[in-house]
């Protein structure tokens, strides 16, 4: 199908990421149709919403035939669903991007094979592997379920050898990855978008701060050396190429001892890139839409300094935020519940010092209303 023919994009998942994709698509007169089992999917304000199960083949086929191309904003879509949809319409990114990144072991093996540094890791799926993993990784590590973990869920930090077995039991003896604890100085992510013709754009490196495993704040560009920033971009490009990815992805990394260690890949638009809506020349959402629609990608650079603060479980008065210069409020239409991301605040400023001053105010308000778990 020619690029100009894409008028409707089917999006699997109807969360806030879908909502922001839908809004970005609208200005290109591209309509998004969202497929999400939840009847109250936040994306329903940004396009038609089909509420049906991931295995409802009748609904899936009808959805596929309504759109020109299919993408996803949620990485736990069953791969059978994607394979089924792929019979009717192109699915971007490819199923492989999703399959590789929804299993933490295969993901780390893929990163290592692509020349991207990762920490020592080992699989645990039975008692014998507990000892093997300890020998390979050491007693200070993080145990994570191989799949379906997010926002720090399904994880246990292990600080001594005897803690590993109980940690695994606490995770219901699910198939796990045990990886070395990285005493990081910073957490960063790189967002990048690749088109089907192989062209790619990479956003400035972002510095992230998590609270209780949930992203609290992102700042761009990260305060790291030019060499590290170049290395981060290089790794992101390698991942894009090795996956033959089409669309936006995020590569999350630790900075430890002035080196980069990759933590994980999100094969989709990502929370740490929400500042791009107000702080980059083209948002991560628009570039994703462009990529899947076969349109040329646009400049991922930024004019000013930018940041994002997540609203988790609570929403302040909009006027209180907007009273601070350089702020933009994005609310998702979700009922506030502890631990639930309900919106974010973007902040831009002409200098890093001014950005940090504005952030102090914004973070004070966010911390007052946020309710984590």
Stretch that binds ligand AMP, among 177-185, 198-206, 242-250, 273-281 (CB under 6 A): 177-185
| One residue of 96, 181, 211, 369 binding ligand AMP per CB under 6 A | 181
Q: CB neighbours of 213 closer than 8 A, spacing ≥ 6?
A: 151, 152, 153, 155
Nearer to ligand AMP, 119 or 354 (CB): 119
Q: CB neighbours of 367 closer than 8 A, spacing ≥ 6?
A: none
Nearer to ligand AMP, 90 or 213 (CB): 213
Residues between 108 and 137 that touch ligand AMP (CB under 6 A): 119
Residue 142 lies near ligand AMP (rule: CB under 6 A) = yes
One-letter-per-residue 3-state SS of the chain: CCHHHCCEEEEECCCHHHHHHHHHHHCCCCEEEEECCCCCCHHHHHCEEECCCCCCHHHHHHHHHHCCEEEECCCCCCHHHHHHHCCCCCECCCHHHHHHHCCHHHHHHHHHHCCCCCCCEEEECCHHHHHHHHHHHCCCEEEEECCCCCCCCCEEEECCHHHHHHHHHHCCCCCEEEEECCCCCEEEEEEEEECCCCCEEECCCEEEEEECCEEEEEEECCCCCHHHHHHHHHHHHHHHHHHCCCEEEEEEEEEECCEEEEEEEECCCCHHHCCHHHHCCCCHHHHHHHHHHCCCCCCCCCCCEEEEEEEECCCCCHHHHHCCCCEEEEECCCCCCCCCEEEEEEEEECCHHHHHHHHHHHHHHHHHHCCCC
Least separation in angstroms between CB 182 and ligand AMP: 4
Nearer to ligand AMP, 14 or 149 (CB): 149
Stretch that binds ligand AMP, among 21-29, 181-189, 232-240, 291-299 (CB under 6 A): 181-189
Q: Are 8 and 30 in contact (CB under 8 A)?
A: yes
Nearer to ligand AMP, 179 or 278 (CB): 179
| One residue of 56, 61, 99, 264 binding ligand AMP per CB under 6 A | 264
Q: Are 210 and 267 in contact (CB under 8 A)?
A: no
| One residue of 37, 152, 333, 336 binding ligand AMP per CB under 6 A | 152
Residue 187 lies near ligand AMP (rule: CB under 6 A) = yes
Size of the site for ligand AMP (CB under 6 A): 13
Least separation in angstroms between CB 172 and ligand AMP: 17
Least separation in angstroms between CB 366 and ligand AMP: 18
Residue 263 lies near ligand AMP (rule: CB under 6 A) = yes
Stretch that binds ligand AMP, among 41-49, 176-184, 298-306, 349-357 (CB under 6 A): 176-184
Nearer to ligand AMP, 158 or 329 (CB): 158
Least separation in angstroms between CB 214 and ligand AMP: 9
Least separation in angstroms between CB 264 and ligand AMP: 5
Residues between 202 and 261 that touch ligand AMP (CB under 6 A): 210, 213, 252
Stretch that binds ligand AMP, among 43-51, 83-91, 124-132, 175-183 (CB under 6 A): 175-183
**Where along the sequence are the contacts to ligand AMP (CB under 6 A)?**
119, 142, 149, 152, 179, 181-182, 187, 210, 213, 252, 263-264
């Amino acid at each position: 199908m020619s690029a100009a023919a894409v008028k409707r994009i089917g999006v699997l998942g109807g969360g806030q990421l879908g909502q922001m994709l839908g809004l970005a698509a609208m200005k290109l007169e591209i309509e998004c149709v969202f497929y999400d089992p939840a009847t109250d999917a936040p994306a329903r304000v940004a396009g038609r919403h089909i509420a049906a199960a991931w295995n409802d083949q009748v609904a899936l086929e009808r959805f596929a035939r309504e759109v020109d191309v299919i993408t996803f904003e949620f990485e736990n879509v069953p791969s059978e669903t994607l394979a089924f949809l792929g019979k009717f319409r192109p699915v971007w990114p490819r199923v492989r991007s999703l399959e590789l990144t929804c299993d933490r072991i295969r993901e780390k093996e893929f990163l290592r094979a692509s020349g991207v540094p990762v920490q020592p890791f080992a699989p645990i799926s039975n008692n014998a592997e507990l000892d093997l993993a300890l020998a390979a990784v050491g007693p200070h590590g993080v145990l994570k379920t191989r799949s379906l973990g997010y926002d720090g869920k399904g994880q246990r930090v292990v600080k001594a050898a005897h803690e590993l077995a109980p940690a695994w039991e606490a995770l219901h003896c699910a198939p796990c990855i045990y990886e070395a604890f990285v005493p990081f100085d910073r957490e960063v992510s790189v967002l990048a978008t690749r088109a089907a013709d192989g062209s790619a754009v990479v956003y400035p490196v972002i510095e992230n701060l998590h609270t209780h495993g949930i992203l609290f704040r992102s700042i761009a560009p990260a305060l790291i050396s030019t060499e590290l920033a170049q290395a981060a971009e290089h790794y992101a490009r390698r991942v894009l190429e090795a996956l033959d990815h089409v669309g936006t992805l995020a590569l999350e990394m630790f900075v430890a001892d002035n080196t980069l260690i990759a933590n994980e890949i999100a094969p989709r638009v990502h929370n740490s890139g929400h500042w791009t809506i107000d702080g980059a020349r083209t948002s991560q959402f628009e570039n994703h839409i462009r990529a899947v629609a076969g349109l040329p990608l646009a400049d991922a650079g930024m004019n000013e300094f930018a940041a994002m603060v997540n609203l988790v479980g609570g929403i302040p008065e909009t006027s209180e935020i907007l009273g601070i210069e350089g702020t933009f409020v994005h609310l998702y239409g979700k009922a506030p519940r502890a631990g639930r991301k309900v919106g974010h605040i973007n902040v831009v400023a002409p200098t890093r010092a001014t950005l940090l001053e504005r952030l102090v105010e914004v973070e004070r308000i966010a911390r007052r209303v946020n309710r984590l778990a």
